[in-house]
Amino acid sequence: MSESGKTSFQSLSLRPVLFSGILFAFLLLGGTAGFITYQGNLQKRADEAQVIYKDLLDFRSTLTLIDQQLSLTPDRSEVLREITQNIKLLQFRSVNFQSRAAKNRMPELASWMRSSQLALEKMLTDIDMKRGIADNSIPLMILELDDVILQTAIDVRLANDKVYDAVQLFFFIVLAVLMVIIISAGWLIVSNYRQTVMPLSQLAEKLRMLNEELPESFHDTAEEVKKNIRREEFSSDVNQITDSIVRFCQDIELKNKKLDELFIKDEKTDLYNYRHFKDHLIVDVARAKRFNEKVSITMMDIDRFKAYNDANGHVAGDIVLERMAGIIREECREADIPARFGGEEFAVLFPRTDSREAIEIVDRLRNIIAAEPFYHEKELPGGQLTISAGVATYPDNAVDWYSLINNADKALYRAKQTGRNKVVHFRELEQEEGESAE
């Protein structure tokens, strides 16, 4: 080595690198601590919004129960006492909702809860004065509450998206800091500590390749990090950062999956909810109109379910709902959309399916349910739990998605009228009307 080369090499000092490393370490630790605090606040906000969403669903269930009690047995004193207790419970919960909505910056929820308090107070007054409650007051509250629940679900999704975005930003900041450290200190480390620079050089190469071929999914990115980086090649700090990034990715993926299921699934039966069913129905009817195809739907209702609930309790009724939902899922095809329409009523959308095939599927489903042994079903009239179903097909029996649902519901009503435990297609009603006209 020449004398000048030796002089140049000896003039290099580790002190600036050491100070730079300490500064970078403080920046990284401070940034990580700040991010953890920020991410924790975001996560707390998302969790609180999700709890509010679930509580709103319970609030709606109680409103629906009050509506059913008023429509079925409004004059019985014990029913009125139970209705009064439920209304008072809703009043207490609405006050709690207002404080939580203000804390979580949800003005629509707070506004609706204030108006609902007035409506609930009027209901109590009407009951005390022995006046009838307006027929449309509770259904109107339920419709307004559905909009609030939808907005809350959107808030939950946005809150989780913020957590996801924060984690993604932190991931790339960490990578950027690591790259800056490697680039700025790499030449000196290679010159003075050749044995140390090898694993760092390999890490830089792998990060560069990962950055050039970044997968679309954040989950795939985490998997690539775990697969390509061997723990024995790097320091414990790098491994901890890698593990933290992977855990963040996995947590966000899990929470997003849960939120997606919560947004489109009915919690009790694990079938699709009405909103998801309607969205698919609108799209499939539009597709059928464009390509001259057929779409069928069925509306199904459990026969004498109220009598079963009264005799065995709501817990047994919930078990029946869950089992019937399981049978419906098992018997539906992959392209079908089974949903809980409300209460003990179910619906199934059959894309690209004519009336004959739809009736065969529904009739098979009816027979399977009739043969299924349910707890204490022998005590019911007829000795078994059954379903009645109505079927309608587009474009044979309807001009749009809305009339398709209504006609299937009319066919279901006719099945109930004519003896239950049967499947009625809407064309049978049209034929009867034609014969009566003649």
Q: What is the pLDDT of residues 255-291, one digit of tens each?
A: 656 555 556 788 888 899 988 999 999 999 999 999 9
Residue 167 makes CB contacts below 8 A (sequence gap 6+) with 39, 248, 249, 252
Mean pLDDT confidence for 23-38: 76
User: Which tens digit of pLDDT belongs to each residue from 156-172?
Assistant: 788 788 777 777 777 77
Active-site residue (options: 223, 261, 344, 357): 344
- Domain ranges, ordered by start, for the chain: 11-263, 274-437
The CATH number given to 274-437 is 3.30.70.270
- Say how far apart CA 352 and CA 282 lie, in whole Å: 13
Residue 339, helix vs strand vs coil: strand
User: Which tens digit of pLDDT belongs to each residue from 291-301?
Assistant: 999 999 999 99
Q: How far is C-alpha 15 from the chain's CA centre?
A: 55
pLDDT of residue 94: 78
Mean pLDDT confidence for 124-132: 67
Cis peptide before 139 (omega within 30 of 0): no
**Residue 232: active-site member:** no
CA atoms within 13 A on the CB side of 421: 13
Query: pTM for the complete prediction?
Result: 0.44
Q: Contact 90/54 with Cβ under 8 angstroms?
A: no
Q: What is the mean pLDDT of the chain?
A: 77
Tokens 């009603």 correspond to 429
Residue 412 has pLDDT above 90, yes or no: yes
Angle (CA) 76-80-86 rounded to 5° is 145
Residue 346 makes CB contacts below 8 A (sequence gap 6+) with 271, 299, 300, 301, 324, 325, 328, 338, 339, 340, 387
Calculate what percentage of the chain has a pLDDT beyond 70.
72
Residue 238 has pLDDT above 60, yes or no: no
